[in-house]
């Protein structure tokens, strides 16, 4: 009897773990994000907002900083996000690369004509 109960508990625990993992995967990166871009000491960090939509591996959205809104497009695959602005010329384009961490945050680098800057993002918590 102990063996049957133990086996059932192991199977149930594994099933719940897989369900939680699949739930995280299915959520991907879609949603609202609060972004912090690590700036040089003289200027400090910059906060921005990002809204992403996901269809399979394809990701589109917007990035808002300094009152300017930029359109983004790219992909999310195997836990890695790669985005680029689509509404700027080559001299002013931005590329954002990041990895989705186990805690649900994003972390990576933003590359632009001003150089590479580290950035992190957390999902915006919805109020109920």
* pLDDT digit string, tens, across residues 97-110: 999 999 999 999 99
| Per-residue pLDDT tens digits for 35-55 | 999 987 778 899 999 999 999
Question: Per DSSP, which regions of 1-128 are E strands?
Answer: 31-37, 46-55, 58-65, 68-77, 80-85, 95-100, 106-112, 115-123
Q: What is the pTM of this model?
A: 0.74
CATH T-level assignment (fold) for domain 28-123: Lipocalin (2.40.128)
In the chain, what are the domain boundaries? 28-123
DSSP annotation of 108 reads E
């Amino acid at each position: 009897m102990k063996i049957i109960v133990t086996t059932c508990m192991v199977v149930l625990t594994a099933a719940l773990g897989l369900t939680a993992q699949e739930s995280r995967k299915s959520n991907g990166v879609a949603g609202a994000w609060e972004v912090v871009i690590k700036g040089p000491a003289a200027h400090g960090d910059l906060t921005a907002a990002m809204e992403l939509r996901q269809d399979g591996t394809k990701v589109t959205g917007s990035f808002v900083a300094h009152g300017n809104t930029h359109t983004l497009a790219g992909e999310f695959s195997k836990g890695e996000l790669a985005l680029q602005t689509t509404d700027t010329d080559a001299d002013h384009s931005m590329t954002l690369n990041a990895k989705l961490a186990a805690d649900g945050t994003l972390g990576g680098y933003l590359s632009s004509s001003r150089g590479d800057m580290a950035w992190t993002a957390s999902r915006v918590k919805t109020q109920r």
